[in-house]
Amino acid sequence: MYVGVSARYLVNLEALNMAESVGNFVRHKKAPIVVRSGSGYVLRYVPVVSGQSIAHGYQELLARVAKGMGLPVCPLCEQGVFVKHGADEIIRRLARDYKAPHAMRLQELLKEKKSPASLYEEFEREVITNCVVEDVGGFLYPGAVPVKRTSRFIAGYMIPALDHVKASGVESQMHVRHDPLGAAGRAGEETGQAIYYVETASALYTVNLALDLDGIGCYTRAAGGWEELEDALKRREAALRALALLVEGMLWGAKKSRFNPSFELESVVVTVSHPYPFNPTPGHHDDYIGDTARRASGYLKTVKPVAGDAFVEIHYYRASRSTASKPAAAGGVKVREAPTASEAVLAALDHLAKAGCR
C-alpha cells in the first residue's frame, strides 16, 4: 500500500531553508526551474525548500508520535539527532553513553564472522526493531559490509506552483541585534548594535510527499524476500499519523523562532493505492486534483489485469478560498472530499490491514 500527497500552501515571509551566510547576509535556498511561457519555456530562479528539510521535520514528528504510541525509538533519534547508525563511533556512543542494549549487540555482531547476507539481515533487523524512525526514514551503515535501508518516506522540494510562479519572490530583511563586543569580538570596544540581513521568500508553494507503507516494519532476509516485525501494523499507523500532522501544520524548516511563516494550507490531494505505487499530480495548475483522478483511472486499467484486488482512492481537501478546482468523477476511482487535510491523509487507515512486506 502506498500513500501519495500533493499539497499547495500560500506562504508569506518564510526563511525555512537557508543556503549560506556571507558576512552578515543569510541567503535563502534557490533553484532553477523551467516554466511555460507563450511560445515555449523559460528558466526562472525561485526560492525552494529541500526534501531533506521536510524529511527532518517528518522524522522529528514521527519520533514523538512513535514514543506516544509506545513504539521504540533509539536515544539519538528521540533527541532529533538523525545521524542514524551511520558510523562505528555512533554505535559506540549509543552503547557507552546511552547503554543501549541493541548497540552493544551490534558491536558484537560486527566482530562475528558472519556471511555478508546474514550480517546484513541481523544488522538491519536489530536497528529497525529498536528504532521506528530508522525503520521508516532509512539509514546507511558504511562498513566492510554496507547496510543500506531506503527511506519509506519520500519528499521532494517544495517549489512555487508553475502557473503562479510570477507571484513568488525573495527579499532581504534588515535586522539589528545587540552586539556588546562588536562584530570582531573585541572586548571593551562596545559597538552596541550590529546590522544583519535575512532573505525571506513568499510564494504559492507545492510539495509532493509519499509513504511506502508496505516497506515499514519489514527487513531483508538473508535467504531472500522479507520478514515482518510483530508490531508492523502499529508502526504503519504511526507513520501515517505523523504524515497527517506534518501536512496539516506545515511542520518543517528552520528559523521558525523569528520567521515562523504566515501560511495557509490551500488544498491537498491524497492517493491511496494498492498494490503498486501511484503519485498524485503536483499542484502546479488549478486542476491538479482533477488531473490526479483522471490519471488514477489509467492506473486502475493498468493494474487490474495483474492484481484483482488492486485499488486507488482519492481524498482531497480544499480551503474555501482555494483556487484549486473540484475534481470530476473518474471511471472506477473513489473520489472523496475531506473536511480537513489530516482526515484526507488518515483515510488510508481504513486500508492499513492490506499493507504487507513485498
The residues of the shown chain that bind Zn ion, judged by CB under 5 A, are: 74, 77, 131, 133-134
Minimum separation from the CB atom of position 157 to Zn ion (A): 25
Closer to Zn ion by CB, 131 or 246: give it.
131
User: With respect to Zn ion, which residue has the nearer C-beta, 127 or 312?
Assistant: 127
Residues 6+ apart with CB under 8 A from 317: 265, 267, 268, 337, 338, 339, 340, 341, 343, 344
CB of 124 to Zn ion, least distance (A): 13
Closer by beta carbon to Zn ion, 134 or else 199: 134
Reading the block at residue 189, the C-alpha cell is 570596544
Nearest in space to 315 (alpha carbons), one of 8, 9, 5? 5
Q: Which is nearer to Zn ion, 122 or 134 (CB)?
A: 134
- Our CA angle for 257, 259, 264, nearest 5°, is 115
- Please give the grid coordinates belonging to residue 185: 569580538
Query: Looking at beta carbons only, is 46 or 77 nearer to Zn ion?
Result: 77
- Asked if 136 contacts 209 with a C-beta cutoff of 8 angstroms, the reply is no
Least gap, CB of 147 to Zn ion (angstroms): 14
If the CB atoms of residues 165 and 242 are measured against Zn ion, the closer one turns out to be: 242
Nearer CB in complex with Zn ion: 130/281: 130
- Return all residues near 90 (Cβ < 8 A) that are at least 6 apart: 76, 83, 84
Q: Which residue has the cell 550480517?
A: 119
User: In angstroms, what is the minimal distance from the CB of 76 to Zn ion?
Assistant: 6
- The cell 499530480 sits on which residue? 281
The one-letter code for the residue type at 81 is V
DSSP codes, 302-322: HHTTT-TT-EEEEEEEE-TT-
What is the rounded distance in angstroms from the CA atom of residue 271 to the CA atom of residue 82?
A: 28
Q: Of all residues in this chain, which one has the CB nearest to Zn ion in the complex?
A: 77
Please name the residues in contact with 61: beta carbons below 8 A apart, sequence gap of 6 or more: 242, 245, 246, 251
User: How far is it, in rounded angstroms, from Cα 324 to Cα 8?
Assistant: 9
Of 136, 158, 149, the C-alpha closest to 59 is 136
Q: How far is the CB of 59 from Zn ion (least distance, A)?
A: 9
Q: How far is the CB of 319 from Zn ion (least distance, A)?
A: 36
Nearer to Zn ion by Cβ, of 48 and 74: the residue is 74
CB of 114 to Zn ion, least distance (A): 23
Smaller CB distance to Zn ion: residue 79 or 173? 79
Cα 120 to Cα 111: distance, rounded to the nearest angstrom: 13
User: Closest distance between Zn ion and the C-beta of residue 75, in Å?
Assistant: 8
Q: How far is Cα 144 from Cα 177, in angstroms, rounded to an integer?
A: 50
Find the shortest distance in angstroms from Cβ 74 to Zn ion. 3
